[in-house]
Amino acid sequence: MKSKKRRQWPLLAGACLLAACAVIVIGKSPFGSFSSWNAVKDTPAAATPAPTPPPREALEFRMVDLDRGWVKYADGIEATEDGGGQWQPAAGDVAADEKAVDGSLTELLSLEAGSVSAVGSSPNPNPNPQTVTLGAAALPVKQTQFLTPRIGWALPANSKDAKNPLLVTADGGQTWVDGMTAEVKDAILKEKKHLQQLAKERELYATKEAAKGIMSAKWKLVPESAAPGDAVLVRHDEPGTITWLNKTYTLQPYGAGYFTYLPISMSAKPGKYPIGDQTLTIVPKKFETQYLKVTSEMESMKQDTARIAADQKKIDLARSKSEPEFLFSGPFVKPIEGILTTPYGYTRYVNGKYDSAHMAVDLAAKEGTPIKATNDGVVALAESLYLTGNSIYLDHGMGLFSQYAHLSELRVKTGDRVKQGDIIGLVGTTGFSTGPHLHFTFWAHNVQVNPDLFWNTTPFRWVQQAQAKPKG
């Protein structure tokens, strides 16, 4: 914003707005000549054209953004780029882009309509007052405009009496100031930041309707119904924590909301659980059983508990911290187009003995097949481990990790930033593996969740289809 460094107008009362003052003003200004209705006549020697003489009557105004707007006079238009602190003769057609700007502002603000705003909650009780409160006085106005529920401008009925072309409010019209104060400037900057956060979050949802449905709610569970092995994305409009199955999750700020994943572990009991003012429904799900035969040499691998424990320490450390933001915006992609040999959640028996539940997917493919990063993230660990062979953990932020095991070759190292689709390694059969395949896992807060939830979508799009829940 080029107007940031501009200085406030010196305090000039109406009475001294004469040519003598003008010299001082212009001499002090790093921006050369500018003017407002109370401003000054440039000297003929100056290169820029002479502005109009004060005082004069402002006819109408329009703010097109929180810092940009114009005031029309009988003899010309003046524009501001700092919310109304300073005004300059407008160059060109100032009104040309106004529809696009305040249209998108309205759209952004409509997303959270009904929700408590992060900036404060003073709704504007009267968007078109006849008088406004300036200090102790009630001042008649001929036009007012609010761009947000809190930030508004007013054109005094007798604008010749005012120091500045417009009065400004930052508290929804309860109090007004003549010109720009540090408080109002700060409030406008905060509101701008909030609008940027709304825009940033809006981008994550599939449609404007989906964004509005989620961003206008106090609490939102995405989705509202899940099965063991799933994850749920929770959004709240304020900071806080959620206790879920005896664990506490901190809501992290992102966009205009606060988020966490809730992993639904395999042991979660079907039923209804209150989360904030919402209800999470856990529905039952049946998983298949798989019987595997491995050589006795391979079977004995699992007995090297010291080696396994040492690896586990590294893995735990890598997954112990995650970036406190979503590192992706686009959909997750399958890392390879392999044949699904073991789906998620299979109860596995190895050589006739119960082994574990398979909390990942196995995708069989030729040795050397390139493996893509499922989405943007940071390499939390890329190392040769005993059971999982050459392994990669990618941090996608907010406690979500993807894991790639049994690789023949690693193409990234710990700390690397990757983009969705980057080749991070090659398919192999290193570690506890019966043949070339990719063992792929998603982790949400250290719980292995179902990868099928993520393909070609993101958690922000796990909004359920119209839930036609008949009442009663």
Footprint of Zn ion (CB under 5 A)? 362, 439
CB of 358 to Zn ion, least distance (A): 6
The CB density around residue 243, as the number of other CB atoms within 10 Å, is: 9
| Chain-centroid distance, C-alpha 426 | 34
Query: Residue 142: exposed, middle, or buried by beta-carbon count in 10 A (0-12, 13-18, 19+)?
Result: middle
CB of 433 to Zn ion, least distance (A): 8
Residue 58, CB-side half-sphere exposure with 13 Å CA sphere: 30
Q: Which is nearer to Zn ion, 230 or 362 (CB)?
A: 362
Edge-to-edge strands of the sheet including 271-275? 225-226, 278-282, 271-275
- Give one word for 406, left, alpha or beta, with left for phi > 0 and alpha for psi -120 to 50: left
Q: What is the CA radius of gyration of the chain?
A: 31
CA dist., res. 217 & res. 233, Å (int)? 14
CB of 227 to Zn ion, least distance (A): 20
CB of 405 to Zn ion, least distance (A): 7
Q: Which is nearer to Zn ion, 150 or 439 (CB)?
A: 439
Q: Which is nearer to Zn ion, 348 or 461 (CB)?
A: 348
Q: Which is nearer to Zn ion, 152 or 338 (CB)?
A: 338
CB of 447 to Zn ion, least distance (A): 17
CB of 64 to Zn ion, least distance (A): 57
The CB density around residue 148, as the number of other CB atoms within 10 Å, is: 22
Q: Three-state secondary structure along 429-472?
A: CCCCCCCCEEEEEEEECCEEECHHHCECCCHHHCCCCCCCCCCC
Q: Which is nearer to Zn ion, 159 or 342 (CB)?
A: 342
Name the residue with the smallest CB distance to Zn ion.
439
CB of 282 to Zn ion, least distance (A): 25
CB of 362 to Zn ion, least distance (A): 4
Q: Which is nearer to Zn ion, 181 or 429 (CB)?
A: 429
Q: Which amino acid is present at 455? A: W
Which residue reads 């990669």 in tokens? Answer: 392
CA dist., res. 34 & res. 25, Å (int)? 10
Q: Which is nearer to Zn ion, 72 or 437 (CB)?
A: 437
Which residue reads 């408590």 in tokens? Answer: 116
CB of 382 to Zn ion, least distance (A): 19
Which residues, at least 6 apart from 284, have a Cβ–Cβ distance to it below 8 Å? Answer: 227, 228, 270
Q: Which is nearer to Zn ion, 260 or 374 (CB)?
A: 374
CB of 429 to Zn ion, least distance (A): 11
CB of 226 to Zn ion, least distance (A): 23
Contact 150, 190 (CB under 8 A): no
Q: Three-class SS of residue 254?
A: strand
Q: Which is nearer to Zn ion, 157 or 357 (CB)?
A: 357
State both tokens at 444. Answer: 């949400």
CB of 378 to Zn ion, least distance (A): 24
Q: Which is nearer to Zn ion, 154 or 387 (CB)?
A: 387
C-alpha distances (whole Å) from 373 to each of 43, 227, 236, 328 are 65, 26, 30, 11
Which residues, at least 6 apart from 456, have a Cβ–Cβ distance to it below 8 Å? Answer: 331, 332, 333
Which residues, at least 6 apart from 159, have a Cβ–Cβ distance to it below 8 Å? Answer: 37, 57, 58, 165
Q: Which is nearer to Zn ion, 249 or 346 (CB)?
A: 346
- Give one word for 210, left, alpha or beta, with left for phi > 0 and alpha for psi -120 to 50: alpha
Q: Which is nearer to Zn ion, 169 or 448 (CB)?
A: 448
